[in-house]
Chain A
């Protein structure tokens, strides 16, 4: 009887935790394009950090936990397509939490801007335009 009681507690505890955890995208969905780093924040009172993020459905996609903010992770896809994410989150609670985000659509756009970090145009012997 005691074990049944704990089992019930266990199964009630999991959904109560998962209801408190949300994943919020920093960009609106219209900005979900290929070759763009897409940040997501995991919010929740008991959230400690993102442990891992696994992608499925689009082989061109990669993920990483932000090296400076451990509740933020990033998705980066080199090609358009639909991708699913499985996020494992460490929390103050007894168990880690697991959240799946399905059917994120990454769309195609033109080539990324020809930003040139190495060649600083403002180092030229001409007046800065700004």
Chain B
């Protein structure tokens, strides 16, 4: 077979199949954490844990929340703190989240070094409810 014919055939194959490789999987940031249509969007962050002179731990949290179906709608929230041994170790916080109050700071001072548990409850205008528990 003519060498030029072979080279031509090789080149043709090269150009025909050069895009047949597997597609690279698109890189998608997986920051979405809801497994079903959420009634609320919320995010709780532990900002810091400070130890005071009496060896008490001060936890500071940052909470953002909203009604998923209508961002203009207010919701009700409740936060409870506990350790494994002491329920209500800190004063809980509740209120109505509306406009600027959809972003709140929470603090809890626990007397001994221990794990802290936090329960967040959100209530919507149509009796929607979500209860989420965290441990730190």
Give the interface of A toward B (CB within 8 A): 24-28, 30-31, 33, 35-37, 39, 41, 62, 64, 66-69, 72, 74, 76, 109-116, 121-122, 126-127, 129-130
Q: Which residue of A lies closest to B31 (CB)?
A: A76
| B91 close to chain A: CB less than 8 A | no
Minimum C-beta distance from A34 to chain B (A): 10
Query: At the interface, is chain A mostly helix, strand, loop or mixed?
Result: loop
Show 18 A/B contacts (Cβ-Cβ < 8 Å), sorted by A: A25-B71, A26-B67, A27-B102, A28-B103, A35-B45, A37-B32, A39-B41, A41-B70, A41-B71, A64-B31, A68-B36, A69-B68, A76-B31, A115-B44, A115-B136, A121-B117, A129-B84, A130-B80
How many A-B residue pairs have C-beta atoms within 8 angstroms? Tell me: 104
CB-contacts of B78-92 with A (<8 A): 80, 82-84, 86-87
Known contacts A69-B37, A122-B133, A113 near B100 by CB under 8 Å: no
Decide if B135 touches A72 in the complex (CB within 8 Å): no
Contact with A along B27-51 (1 / 0, CB 8 A): 0110111101110010111111000
Whole-angstrom CA separation of A93 from B91 in the bound complex: 53
Task: Pick from A31, A67, A74, A122 the residue with the most CB of B within 10 Å.
Answer: A31
B15 at the binding interface (Cβ < 8 Å): no
Within the complex, what minimum Cβ distance (angstroms) separates A65 from chain B?
A: 10
Asked whether A36 and B43 contact (CB < 8 A) given A27-B64, A72-B68, the answer is yes
Assembly CA distance A114 to B103 (angstroms): 19
A25 to B64, CA, bound (A): 12
> Quick check: A130 and B117 within 8 Å, CB to CB?
yes
* Chain A residue contacts of B46, Cβ below 8 A: 110-115
Taking a contact as CB atoms closer than 8 A, the residue among A37, A76, A127, A130 that contacts B119 in the complex is: A130
Contact, CB under 8 Å: A37 / B31: yes
* Closest chain B residue to A127, Cβ basis: B84
19 more A-B contacts (CB under 8 A) besides A28-B103, A33-B45? A26-B41, A26-B68, A28-B100, A28-B102, A31-B64, A31-B102, A33-B62, A37-B31, A39-B41, A76-B29, A110-B48, A113-B46, A113-B61, A113-B136, A114-B136, A126-B84, A127-B84, A130-B80, A130-B133
Contact B71 A26 (CB under 8 A): yes
**Contacting residues, chain B, for A24 (C-beta < 8 A):** 71-72
